[in-house]
Amino acid sequence: MPETRQRTATTGHQPIRAGGGIEAHWHDQHQIVYAGRGVLSVTTDAGSWIAPATRAIWVPGGTLHQHRAYGETTLHTVGLTENPLGLDVPSALVVSPLLRELILAYTSGDGDQVERERLHAVLLDQLRRSPQRPMYLPAPHDPRLAAVCDLLREDPADTRTLTELGREVGASERTLSRLCQTDLGMTFPQWRTQLRLHHALRLLAHNESVTRVAHQCGWASTSAFIDTFRRAFGHTPGSRKA
């Protein structure tokens, strides 16, 4: 990551232009990061999380991270001294319609102190009830696996098998499969699906058609893409909330 600095974990909202973001930083407080519109990614040395409007990202205090916006994005952040989730690593959280309205209302800054304290209490309650979803794309450390992952990042539609990709980087399918489990904590097909979903969200944020996104991300058909997207996010890509 580039040069880092400490920032205050503020509560508020700000527009971020497409492709813009906040460079690597950390803060003492915990933080909820949410894109009221657009798509937002949070990247650490361990990997990346990406969130449309149905997800928020939990960033524990002291975590070095950076933000990037895809599409015109409104960034909402909630700084927290308490840890209602009991998590010491970043995580993607499901944002219900109620939780979305609570985040938008709380980060607007409106209301007197009593009103905001009540809103804060309800917000914490809803965060505790929010399910986690594995929208995490871990970063490989082994140079052989990293080379394979780089090939797929350059072209998520690449359909080559792990055996074929292994020939290009000089590693066997068995070695790479083992590294996926030890280095990434998931199988190769699971990692590739996560990569494609991350790439799909970025393209959708730039108003690409569902059919074109399915093709560019390597799904065999538009219907297969829609089914995978619905299972991951709870809604179809055509009805996304942004």
Reported as a single tens digit per residue, the pLDDT across 190-236 is 999 999 999 999 999 999 999 999 999 999 999 999 999 999 888 89
The boundaries of the domain holding residue 168 are 140-239
Question: What's the structural domain count of the chain?
Answer: 2
Do 23 and 82 lie in one domain? The reply is: yes
Do 112 and 153 lie in one domain? The reply is: no
Q: Which of 115, 136, 157 is the last residue of a domain?
A: 136
Which distant-in-sequence residues (6+ apart) come within 8 Å of 33 by Cβ? 40, 42, 51, 56, 57, 58, 59, 67, 75, 76, 77
Do 50 and 118 lie in one domain? The reply is: yes
For residue 61, what is the domain's CATH number? 2.60.120.810
Do 9 and 63 lie in one domain? The reply is: yes
Do 67 and 47 lie in one domain? The reply is: yes
In the predicted structure, residue 241 carries a pLDDT above the cut 50: no
Do 123 and 41 lie in one domain? The reply is: yes
Q: Which of 102, 136, 170 is the last residue of a domain?
A: 136
Q: Which of 87, 118, 136 is the last residue of a domain?
A: 136
Do 28 and 102 lie in one domain? The reply is: yes
35, 22 in Cβ contact below 8 A? no
Give the pLDDT band (50/70/90) at residue 4: low
For the chain, how many helices (H) and strands (E)? 8, 10
Do 118 and 153 lie in one domain? The reply is: no
Do 23 and 109 lie in one domain? The reply is: yes
Do 13 and 124 lie in one domain? The reply is: yes
Do 132 and 178 lie in one domain? The reply is: no
Reported as a single tens digit per residue, the pLDDT across 129-170 is 998 876 789 999 999 999 999 999 999 999 999 999 999 999
Do 146 and 226 lie in one domain? The reply is: yes
* The model's pTM: 0.88
* Helix, strand, coil share (%) of the chain residues, nearest 5: 40, 25, 30
Residue 206: count of CB within 10 angstroms of its CB: 14
pLDDT given at position 202: 93
Which distant-in-sequence residues (6+ apart) come within 8 Å of 206 by Cβ? 18, 70, 71
Quickly list DSSP for 200-242. HHHHHHTT--HHHHHHHTT-SSHHHHHHHHHHHHSS-GGG---
pLDDT given at position 242: 40
For residue 217, what is the domain's CATH number? 1.10.10.60
